[in-house]
Structure 1
Amino acid sequence: MIDSEFFITGEPIPTEFGDCRFIKVKEYAFLTPYLSWFKMSKKEIIYTYSKKENNQFGQLDGLIAELKKLSLFEITSILPNFKEAYEVIFSTVFNGVEILEKLTPENFEALRELVLRMSCLKEEKISSNPEIQRANERSKRVKSQDSDLVDMADIMSSVATHTGYLYKDINEMTLFQLYMTYYRVGQFKQYDTSTLFATVSPDAAKHMESWGKHIDLFEEEKHYISRESFMKQTKGFGKGSA
């Protein structure tokens, strides 16, 4: 388990390949497409290729069958888009040092997980059960419709407004520092609001949370449905495993 307690300092993390540095906000725009490929798990890769819009006539069935036999380590060294993404991301965080050829199945996952956490990224949770996966996607769409969409510009402008940082300063922050500051500002504003309500409602005071409470940037999304929940909702007609 990677200890992210001191990620907030922005100091590089020592690894067997040398110091692994954090991605900065100013690098995010260029790296976004590569990070999208980088964070995909084997399950998500196969699921993406299997989608009807990508494999309507079964033209990718052969490729999908082969991918199922391979590990993520093997897949990322074969498929061009993924190979390029890993080359770019690893080259960035290791300051131009090429480490791709030094990776092995034994150290690949640990290093990938480190970079994901340093970049505040999580794998998309994909269910092996197609019905559950479709239900998860519906739930995710509903959740996104019910909440305001926030993009990088919103996050940066919020941090600038509430901290007084200039955008040139925010550009030099790591992604981890930016997201942590953004959520801390939100926690502080929520505390302010709760304090105001507590002056007129004693009950509100009982539910107040400290503005300095722990923030978990890697908390699992609430829209995912477990196999048990799915079976209960469908009265046992769902088959397969999550």
Structure 2
Amino acid sequence: MIGPIVNGSSIIVGSIVGAFLGERIAERIRSALPMTFGAASMALGIALIIKIKLIPAVILALLLGSLIGEILSLERTIQRVSIKARGLIEAVLPARETTLTQEEFLEKFVALVVLFCASGTGIFGSMTEGMTNDSSLLMAKALLDLFTSAIFATTLGYSVAVIAIPQCAIQFCLLLGARQILPFTTPEMVADFSACGGVIMFATGFRICGIKPFPVANLLPALLFVMPISAFWSKYIVGG
């Protein structure tokens, strides 16, 4: 289980370093790199989407997941938790002066939560380690997250470190559950799961780049539905 621990630690370390350096990092770097991270998120999303096997199943999962997410107001829930986390962190550590409004802070923070917690690399890296004890994917993700958290922490502050908590929890659950779930999956189910995550990653990239503020957190329930829907579609619709 070393992968989730290293990945979570990289976010904490990166956040502390980035928040501490703050204005010491050149503005052109603080402005340009998030755009690069957003583009990388979209590229990763495309790489995952092209693995799709059953397009109707993935679309149905996204629609159902989005509906459930809107009903449960997942985006707003994460925003409320983010505000409380920011208050707790700033009560202990001094807040840096920033030009971000609360709305801008929440916009970037929620996008980071999805980027760190629901990325294809993190999901499949956790599942891979659970099945094979190979943590190489999560180690690679840890390196990327180290720099990502550092850059965003220059404007969002120490609050970015809090994201390590849900990320570790999700990765541990995936790692432990993979041994029970993956033996019952098919390559088609895994491919459609990958494609569904790719759509979410693509939307996250748009959000990070400031192109379109997709409510990406409300799409997360789709990841729970896509495999069962894919299995049903393959067996009863395609298989006849």
- Common fold: TM-score over 0.5: no
Q: Which protein, 1 or 2, shows the higher relative CO under an 8 Å CA cutoff with sep ≥ 6?
A: 2
State the TM bucket, normalised to the shorter chain: under 0.3
**TM-score with structure 1 length normalisation?**
0.25
Higher relative helix content: 2
